[in-house]
Structure 1
Amino acid sequence: MDVKSANIKISQIMSTRIVTIEMDDRLTIVKEIFDNAPFHHLLVIEHDELQGILSERDYLRALSPNIGNISETERDSETLQRRAHQVMSRNPITIEPYQTIKRASELLLEYGIGSLPVLDNGKLVGIVTWKDLLKAFAS
């Protein structure tokens, strides 16, 4: 990594196309989003404030492994009725748009996470993922 690429700002690489869900949304909504959109992280909000993050990995961990196959029971399908706040990670690690991609990389590695919601003065403005960082370092 050269010094020049390490100083790229988060605002230059973050995705501003974010998908948010509410705390009480059911996992059926989460399933629909993950099945139909190229997102792997949903930001959970309440009253326009970030409350948590729900990754595709969190979602899959919460579901019964029998969902969608021949051995699925009513009890299995009920796991889709759980609410986002029951599955999400609370108090997500965030970053500001003026921070550098070097700092974002350090945070992802330090906390073992795959994305960082981007907050500008407490307002959700984007998300940056490990793939975004990799692309920035590669270009």
Structure 2
Amino acid sequence: MKINSIMQDRVVTVDHEASLWEVKMVFDNTRFHHLLVTENNILVGVLSDRDYLKAVSPNLGSATQSKADTDSLNTRVKTIMSTKLHTLSPDNTVLDAVKLFNQRSISCIPIVNEDMTIAGIISWRDIMKTIEALQG
């Protein structure tokens, strides 16, 4: 089975120069857990909700929030994104994705075309949903 049959082609991208304010708005208003980071429409990194939470002050939104806490949202995506990219193409198989997940400590795999433009994304959740549907 090819990845393009189960990948999510609805992805959210953010520019590498975006601030964590912008990322906060995306995570607050969507159900996405990974943002694909681009520079001139080319994939250059991945930012997970966990990366975001590690980078911002834990006091945001609390009664003890200070200006320094709020200023943590001025951080640029490029300073905290994962740049060690593990990608596959739409023509790879789901088994290729399973192998990559098992070899690397990653939670998503960007699916890219030959020119590194984004075609989609796949997560373990997508694979598990497919297995469940095949069993059902």
TM-score of the superposed pair, with normalisation by structure 1: 0.92
In the alignment, the residues of structure 1 paired with residue 57 and residue 75 of structure 2 have an alpha-carbon distance, to the nearest angstrom, of 11
The answer to whether structure 1 residue 125 and structure 2 residue 98 are counterparts is no
Residue correspondences, number: 132
Q: What does residue range 55-134 of structure 1 map to in structure 2 within 5 Å?
A: 55-122=48-115, 123-134=117-128
More displaced stretch, 121-130 vs 30-39: 121-130
Seq. identity, % = 38
**Partner SS, residue 38 of structure 2:** strand
- Structure 1 stretches of at least 4 aligned residues deviating more than 2 Å after TM superposition: none
Q: Aligned-pair distance for 1:124?
A: 1.1
The answer to whether structure 1 residue 37 and structure 2 residue 30 are counterparts is yes
Q: Which runs of 5+ in 1 are unaligned?
A: 1-7
1:51 pairs with one of 40, 44, 48: 44
Q: Aligned-pair distance for 1:48?
A: 1.2
1:12 pairs with one of 5, 18, 22: 5
Root mean square deviation, CA, Å: 0.9
**Partner SS, residue 89 of structure 1:** coil
Q: Aligned-pair distance for 1:109?
A: 2.1
In the alignment, the residues of structure 1 paired with residue 54 and residue 102 of structure 2 have an alpha-carbon distance, to the nearest angstrom, of 22
Q: Which runs of 5+ in 2 are unaligned?
A: none
Q: Aligned-pair distance for 1:103?
A: 1.2
